[in-house]
């Protein structure tokens, strides 16, 4: 089945450690996105990529980094510079501009 | 910032129609209105979208006002499984498609 796979579903890390969240899609979508969601809040855009080897900062990019070396993959690294990394992270993709967005099932990151 | 405004929460009795409003007064001519919903701790699910005509699919209907400054998502016969946060967004098939979500409307279906 085609879809977006985020792994792992739950992730625990110690404060000060970098951690990379995986996002893989087999939908042949060009554009991919990372969002952060805090309890009771909406989705905030971290980074997005319209094409391989290119990406742009969203509204809350500080403390995060991404890469887009392959069309299928858009990993997100939460660095130690991110002051409050505990959150629910969602990856999304869309085939081209203006089409409906597909979402992964999310990764819940807890930093202790 | 999100280009849409939605009420933070709404209640609807089970079996009745749920009408969720969205204000997008600054929408431009080539921007589409999209609706998604998110059930607790899952990824958002696409529901419907439209440009200026009313749209209907197996999940819902979308009514867009003639001036396109607001829209209403209608769930015709709400069930308990429709309890979720509903997001209305506007998007344009432009070069820089950031896809910004607001806080959405938390819909409670009452038994």
Chain B neighbors of A31, CB-CB under 8 A: 97
Strands (E), A26-78: 31-37, 43-51, 54-57, 64-66, 76-78
Residues of B in contact with A35 (CB under 8 A): 101
Calpha distance A61→A68 (Å, rounded): 15
Q: Mark yes or no for CB contact A106/B45 under 8 Å.
A: no
pLDDT mean over A72-96 = 93
pLDDT in tens, B86-111: 999 988 766 557 788 888 999 999 99
pLDDT band at B33 (very low <50, low <70, confident <90, very high): very high
Contacts of B81 (CB under 8 A, 6+ apart): none
Distance from the first to the final alpha carbon of chain B: 35
In the predicted structure, residue B3 carries a pLDDT above the cut 90? no
CB A43 within 8 A of CB A61: no
Give the pLDDT mean for A28-55: 92
Rounded to whole angstroms, the Cα distance separating B36 from B86 reads: 6
Instruction: Please give the average per-residue pLDDT across B77-90, as a whole number.
Output: 95
The mean pLDDT value for B58-68 works out to 96
Residue A4: predicted pLDDT: 95
Q: Hey, of A5, A7, A38, A42, which one would you mutate to test binding to chain B, going by the most B CBs within 10 A of its CB?
A: A42
Non-local (6+) Cβ contacts of A100 within 8 A are A94, B34, B46, B49
Q: What is the mean pLDDT of chain A?
A: 92
Q: Residue range A2-28: average pLDDT?
A: 92
CB contacts, 8 Å: B3 with chain A: none
pLDDT number for residue B98: 76
Place of tokens 């419907």: B48
Q: Which residues contact A84 (CB under 8 A, 6 or more apart)?
A: none
What is the per-residue pLDDT for A40? 81
Q: What integer pLDDT is reported at residue B93 of this predicted model?
A: 62
How sure is the predictor about A6, in pLDDT bands with cuts at 50, 70 and 90?
Answer: very high
Helix, strand, coil percentages in chain A from 3-state DSSP, rounded to 5: 0, 50, 50
- Please check whether residue B98 touches A, CB under 8 A: yes
């Amino acid at each position: 089945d085609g879809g977006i796979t985020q792994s792992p579903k739950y992730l625990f890390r110690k404060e000060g450690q970098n951690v990379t969240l995986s996002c893989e899609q087999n939908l042949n979508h060009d554009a991919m996105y990372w969002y952060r969601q805090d309890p009771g809040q909406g989705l905030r855009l971290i980074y997005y990529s319209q094409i391989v080897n290119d990406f742009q900062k969203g509204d809350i990019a500080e403390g995060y980094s991404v890469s887009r070396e392959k069309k299928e993959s858009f990993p997100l690294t939460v660095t130690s510079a991110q002051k409050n990394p505990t959150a629910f992270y969602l990856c999304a993709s869309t085939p081209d501009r203006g089409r409906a967005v597909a979402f992964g099932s999310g990764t819940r990151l807890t930093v202790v | 910032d999100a280009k849409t405004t939605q009420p933070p929460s709404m209640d609807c009795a089970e079996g009745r129609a749920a009408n969720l409003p969205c204000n997008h007064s600054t929408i431009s001519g080539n921007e589409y209105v999209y609706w998604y919903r998110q059930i607790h701790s899952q990824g958002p699910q696409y529901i419907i979208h439209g440009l200026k005509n009313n749209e209907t699919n197996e999940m819902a209907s979308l009514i867009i006002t003639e001036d396109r400054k607001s829209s209403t998502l209608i769930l015709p016969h709400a069930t308990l499984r429709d309890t979720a946060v509903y997001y209305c967004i506007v998007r344009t098939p432009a070069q820089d498609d950031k896809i910004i979500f607001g806080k959405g409307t938390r819909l409670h279906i009452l038994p």
